[in-house]
């Protein structure tokens, strides 16, 4: 597989995970009790949607049609695997897990990119969200609770 094809494949994988991460943050917002946390999770969900649009724009610049993208097709197996994997985790832990997965995909993307990484600001925001979520987990002992 050529370097450009691998780059496109990783971008598509990133789209799928950004979409899932956005949904995890909106679910966490639904579970949040405190307005500050609800607002944070809604903003993070919207931010992941913006990242999704950035990646989609990059794919379109590479000549991909949105009709050709995997993200447009429902993948039941992927949904089932991702659901089973984090079934017992709290909403906040699912957000952390989703963001850590995204960071690893961005690292993979950076290794494949020949040009200056235009997605660096994405990783900065993800690292900040992970830090904030982990702080809340440790501060409030959220490991065993799904509502916060």
pLDDT score of 66: 73
Question: How confident is the model over 69-122, as pLDDT tens digits?
Answer: 655 444 544 444 455 455 567 888 889 999 999 999 999 998 887 665 678 899
Rounded percentage of the chain residues whose pLDDT exceeds 90: 53
Q: Which two tokens stand for residue 29?
A: 């917002």
Domain boundaries, the chain: 3-143
pLDDT given for residue 142 in this prediction: 47
Specify the CATH number for 3-143; select among 1.10.10, 1.10.3470, 2.60.40, 1.20.1260.
Answer: 1.20.1260
**pLDDT for res 3:** 85
pLDDT at 125 over 90: yes
Burial class (CB in 10 A: 0-12, 13-18, 19+), 31: middle
- How far apart (Å, rounded) are the C-alpha atoms in residues 86 and 36? 25
Global confidence as pTM: 0.81
Q: How many CA atoms lie within 13 A of 137 on its CB side?
A: 19
Q: Report the alpha-carbon distance of residue 69 to residue 116 in Å, rounded.
A: 24
């Amino acid at each position: 597989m050529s370097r450009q094809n691998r780059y496109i494949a990783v971008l598509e994988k990133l789209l799928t995970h950004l979409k899932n991460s956005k949904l995890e943050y909106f679910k966490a917002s639904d579970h949040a009790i405190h307005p500050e946390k609800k607002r944070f999770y809604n903003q993070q969900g919207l931010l992941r949607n913006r990242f999704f649009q950035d990646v989609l724009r990059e794919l379109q610049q590479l000549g991909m049609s949105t009709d050709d993208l995997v993200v447009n097709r429902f993948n039941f197996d992927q949904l089932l695997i991702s659901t089973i994997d984090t079934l017992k985790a709290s909403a906040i832990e699912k957000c952390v897990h989703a963001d850590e997965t995204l960071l690893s995909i961005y690292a993979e993307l950076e290794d494949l990119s020949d040009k200056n990484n235009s997605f660096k600001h994405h990783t900065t925001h993800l690292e900040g969200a992970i830090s904030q979520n982990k702080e809340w987990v440790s501060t409030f002992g959220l490991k065993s609770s799904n509502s916060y």
